[in-house]
Structure 1
Amino acid sequence: MTLRTLYVTAPDGIRLATDVCLPPTPSPHPAVVIRTPYGRTAHRAELRGWAARGFAAVAQDVRGRHDSEGEWHPYRSHEEEDGAATIAWVRRQAWSDGQVVAAGASYAAYCGLVTAVTAVPHGEGHGDGAPDAVIAAVPALGLAETAREATGPERLRARAGWWAAHGDRRDSDPDALEKALARDPRILEHLPVVGLGERLDRELPSWSGVWDDCRRGWLVLRGSAARIPLLAVGGTRDPFAEDTVALWRGWGGPSRLLLGPWGHRLTGGAAPVAGLAAGGRINLGALYVRWAKAALADRLDHTRRGVIALGDSGRWCRVPGSDDGPVRETAVVAGQLASTARRAPASPRPTALVFGSPTGLRLLHGAEFTADPDRPVRSDGLTVRVPTDLNHPDPDRPDPDRPDSADRCVLLSPPLPCPLDLAGHAEARVRAVTDALCADWAVRVVALDPGGRADPLAFGIVRRTDPPGETVDITVPLGTLGRRLDAGTRLRVEIAGHHFPAHARNPHTGEDPVTATRLARSRRTVLTRGSALLLPVTARREYVEPVPETCR
């Protein structure tokens, strides 16, 4: 196998550095194209893997990054035109048989997707700049999706880290934010948030524009008209997991979803092992090749199919919403098992763990609490301080200066009497009151094993602008869960006003959290009556083998 570096010329004359690795067998070959801002040379082992399996493998630095000419403007650059030009160039090469799969992870997945949904599809009589299939792993779908939750709050820590590492520069410095935090551990606390670029050790002129784009959902919408096959790969621990699910659900062509127990790097807690996604024990490289060959040969069912891992149990099941026949679900309500027959396109009937119920979620602390942005509940720790004596003087009026003051509402379930599988969408429904003009409501669910070890299970945060002092019902989406909970596990639910530094602090003044320079405390009350945690509990579900299910 030979690997060469060439330059593909974009429509405006910009030259894009491109590595090409060809199989040792005679041409022509189908091709895989990866367009990335993270350095094409990091993909050389991957290119050789594709080439060894009969694909011409192409990796390209996007415009303005590493060895490609031009200026780098994430999500606002020329990804559509440059991607279409690259795919058209591939099809003109003597070693190409005309079939192209666009592949990539994170921003590189965006590059492949945006080319697929904006270029003219190949084979429709005009144009050859669109791929024939797309592999999108942990897709970061757009500027608006990556900057904010769908429910409003700003994703501060992740965006600050990514922009410090990759924004407004030709190369990357993955440790840029950590270096800045070493100089000033409170760098993310300084206001306004929009001024972060000035506090880094280099200029970051694009930082302020990160928060301006509101075109959320446009790529998913355009994908609904696509007719080519899609493989969407994500992880239940990935912050963009719901975007991956939305892409799969909305895609117009044959679509497959593989949702493992992984984070954004497609690994769990362990380090990756030679292309093996940790936790789910899936060889993603082999899966990609098998799926790509089936997609190009039109051997995929023209359906929507998805599989989800039940945590690190090694077991997988179909994602609710797959095109499939009847399955049987069970729900646990107040400790009792009740069977319901349903069809897969509908969501599983949720389990309601009612707040204030001895068989649901018992209130431990903080029915009334103070959300103080100067002392926010942090996202980077699972420790919860609950006073041993809830009968301290004036317990209904927490004092933020007391060490045992409530900064969140905490509830706890009894131990599970039997193992439970969770597969599908979860949410919290909270009846609450606040005195703030604008308030964020963060809900974190933690699984406590019989030994007391805490493991994050689900999280969601929403922004509300309800009339101060008015009792309101708040729905907090908690994402798509795939977990197996052992018998004896307890669930701890925390309701807070902040989740910092993962999310920017709501100032409670009605000002934009990105530009605000003043913070205020907010009093909160959670009413147990009418509040519940809804979980997609599934028992006796038919387990599936993920690779054959994904590739059929």
Structure 2
Amino acid sequence: MTSFRATVGGLAADVRLPDGAGPFPAVLIRTPYDRARHLAEARGWARRGFTAVVQDVRGRFASSGEWRPYENEAADGAATARWIRRQPWSDGRYVAVGASYAAHCALVLALEAPGAAEARPDAVIAAVPALGAAETAREPSGVERLLARAGWWAAHGDRPDSDEGALEKALAADPGLLTQLPLTGLPGRLGRSLPSWAGLWRHRERGRLASRAARADVPLLAVGGHHDHFTEDTVALWRTWGGPSARLLLGPWGHGLVSAPGLDAGPAHRVNLGELYARWARRALTGDLAPGRHGALALGGGDLWLPAGTEGEPRPQPLRLLRGSGFTADPDRPVRSDDLTVPTSGLPDRCVLVTPPLPRPLDAVGPVRIRLRAAADTPSADWAARLVALTPEGTAERLAVGLLRREEPADRHAEFGVELGRLTRRLRAGTRLRLEIAGHHFPAHARNPHTGDDPITAGRLLASRREVDPTSVTLTLHVLPSRPTSTDPAKEILR
């Protein structure tokens, strides 16, 4: 294999060629996380007959210019794509590949690149895709994803390099860091300049790339994890993709995919993603993929795979109230996202309901929803619903979380629903499900100040008194009616 460095419009790239005379198809990976970290990945692509081009995005590491997340990737990627197609080692075809922010870079090439056909990739692999600033910063309901964004901006924002552990180090020195008021002042408390931090929260329009995906005309492989915060975006991308074929692979993994398996992962869920990507890319470039949407979902706790699109039948689960039909959501003492302990004494800070032990195993595959009738004594209120599995051994494990922001006259009782995302999980016999309904989910999400002010700029917090009618609360899981048989994820992806 031969490797060399190239510069395209001031953007630094490493190029690794396969052995042989060529020309070859190419893989383009554009990343803000240092192209040097992709050395092993580039070698793997080259071993499989692809030229690997790994580029630092504008303003990061060895690339010149100003780093402005999500602003320049379509134009810069298009310029690099045109450069690739002019090279003597290129056979004119390339696959845009990336994970997280790099998946955004790949997707905008397919959906927004200037120059259309000349710049557009012939196929796209998007893993745990960060679709845009608004999608990464907020839940669909508008609730702010504080911890993840603070961590990302502390590590990567407004700088040419990265400090991966910046937020962890800052929290160790200042445990109350994320309680800063207003949150726009967080950079000062971190001790460094982050001029783009405040502007991040002005991005509210979601769905731009997802809507354009309906007009896509190249094959897609979307890869995600059940425990990733972008799972819903990954599934939506696959469902709306308009290209000749779309494939979905969802495993019991976190944002790091196979390097971050969940507690529910089994031996069957160990997938060689590099080999699968290369085989899919080869078939995509030669037109050998069957049309339509296919793929595989891992059944966590079941050590098997299901065809993508599998969904159970809606089944309400019986609930009884443990405590807290009336509770206080106090932003000075918020329910914490990183603690599954539920207080059993003192004034309730959440409504807690529980199911009886499951009489037999239950395969929950599909969306999780709750409905309830409730009221808040403040004009703005967030409703956080967290579903937890209580195992027969007595441990607690988070299953799903959903947040809804409501603006309503104080003390008005209303019926509404909260979406908790999708669950693909086998729950063992004897497991009980605990449903917590609270006013905060901090620090994963910013605290609603309950004043009607923007949580990012608010400087004053109010406690909010809540009332929940426990007889109105319904928890609906989608349950498979019979035990499924396993499918081969590679066959589903490659057919």
Q: Report the TM range for the smaller structure's normalisation.
A: over 0.9
1:351 equivalent in structure 2:
315
Matched, 1:7 2:11: no
Matched, 1:259 2:259: no
Partner Cα distance (1:311, 1:155) in 2: 25
TM-fit CA distance, 1:466: 2.0
Partner Cα distance (1:508, 1:434) in 2: 10
Q: Give runs of aligned pairs for residues 479-498 of structure 1, distance below 5 A.
A: 479-498=421-440
Contact in 2 for aligned 1:180/1:201 (Cα 8 Å): no
1:21-69 deviation line (CA, Å, top 9, x unaligned): 1111220111110000000000010000010011111100000000001
1:113 equivalent in structure 2:
107
1:371-419 deviation line (CA, Å, top 9, x unaligned): 00000000011111124xxxxxxxxxxxxxxxx2100011111111111
1:65 pairs with one of 60, 80, 84: 60
Contact in 2 for aligned 1:432/1:526 (Cα 8 Å): yes
Matched, 1:98 2:92: yes
1:467 equivalent in structure 2:
409
1:162 pairs with one of 130, 149, 152: 152
1:451-494 deviation line (CA, Å, top 9, x unaligned): 11111111101101122111111211111111111111111111
Q: Give runs of aligned pairs for residues 395-410 of structure 1, distance below 5 A.
A: 404-410=346-352
Contact in 2 for aligned 1:21/1:56 (Cα 8 Å): yes
Matched, 1:544 2:487: yes
1:310 equivalent in structure 2:
299
Matched to 1:94, the amino acid is P
TM-fit CA distance, 1:277: 11
Partner Cα distance (2:107, 2:281) in 1: 15
1:333 equivalent in structure 2:
none
Partner Cα distance (1:40, 1:369) in 2: 50
Give the 3 Å change call, closer, same or farther, for CA 6–277 of structure 1 in structure 2. farther
Matched to 2:314, the amino acid is P
Matched, 1:369 2:334: no
Residue 147 of structure 2 aligns to a residue whose secondary structure is helix
Partner Cα distance (1:87, 1:229) in 2: 17
Taking structure 2 as the reference length, the TM-score comes to 0.96
Matched to 2:316, the amino acid is A
Matched, 1:205 2:200: no
Matched to 1:219, the amino acid is L
TM-fit CA distance, 1:528: 2.0
Residue 282 of structure 1 aligns to a residue whose secondary structure is coil
Partner Cα distance (1:458, 1:319) in 2: 20
Residue 74 of structure 2 aligns to a residue whose secondary structure is helix
Partner Cα distance (2:408, 2:249) in 1: 38
1:432 equivalent in structure 2:
374
TM-fit CA distance, 1:152: 1.2
Give the 3 Å change call, closer, same or farther, for CA 60–252 of structure 1 in structure 2. same
Matched, 1:181 2:171: yes
Matched to 2:74, the amino acid is E
Residue 460 of structure 1 aligns to a residue whose secondary structure is strand
Taking structure 1 as the reference length, the TM-score comes to 0.87
Contact in 1 for aligned 2:74/2:114 (Cα 8 Å): no
1:497-523 deviation line (CA, Å, top 9, x unaligned): 000000000001111111111111111
Contact in 2 for aligned 1:104/1:137 (Cα 8 Å): yes
Segment drifting more, 467-476 vs 131-140: 467-476
1:219-272 deviation line (CA, Å, top 9, x unaligned): 11111100100111011110111011111111111111111111111147659x
Higher normalized helix content (fraction of residues): 2
1:514 equivalent in structure 2:
456
- What root-mean-square deviation, in Å, do the aligned CA atoms of Structure 1 and Structure 2 show? 1.8
Contact in 2 for aligned 1:2/1:21 (Cα 8 Å): yes
Segment drifting more, 162-171 vs 311-320: 311-320
TM-fit CA distance, 1:197: 1.3
Give the 3 Å change call, closer, same or farther, for CA 45–538 of structure 1 in structure 2. same
2:274 equivalent in structure 1:
285
Q: Give runs of aligned pairs for residues 447-458 of structure 1, distance below 5 A.
A: 447-458=389-400
Partner Cα distance (1:384, 1:315) in 2: 33
Partner Cα distance (1:421, 1:547) in 2: 22
Q: Alignment length, in residue pairs?
A: 492
1:257-292 deviation line (CA, Å, top 9, x unaligned): 111111111147659xxxx99872111111101111
Partner Cα distance (2:241, 2:16) in 1: 30
Give the 3 Å change call, closer, same or farther, for CA 461–278 of structure 1 in structure 2. farther
Residue 482 of structure 1 aligns to a residue whose secondary structure is strand
Give the 3 Å change call, closer, same or farther, for CA 42–412 of structure 1 in structure 2. same
Contact in 2 for aligned 1:156/1:502 (Cα 8 Å): yes
Partner Cα distance (1:439, 1:313) in 2: 38
Matched to 1:263, the amino acid is G
Q: Give runs of aligned pairs for residues 229-244 of structure 1, distance below 5 A.
A: 229-244=219-234
Matched to 2:241, the amino acid is W
Matched, 1:218 2:208: yes
1:34 equivalent in structure 2:
29
1:171 equivalent in structure 2:
161
2:129 equivalent in structure 1:
139
Matched to 1:430, the amino acid is L
1:79 equivalent in structure 2:
73
TM-fit CA distance, 1:182: 2.1
Segment drifting more, 23-32 vs 260-269: 260-269
Q: Percent sequence identity over matched residues?
A: 58
Contact in 2 for aligned 1:248/1:257 (Cα 8 Å): yes
Contact in 1 for aligned 2:219/2:284 (Cα 8 Å): yes
- Moved beyond 6 Å, runs of 4+: 276-279
Residue 159 of structure 1 aligns to a residue whose secondary structure is helix
Structure 2 residue ranges without an equivalent (≥5): none
Give the 3 Å change call, closer, same or farther, for CA 21–269 of structure 1 in structure 2. closer
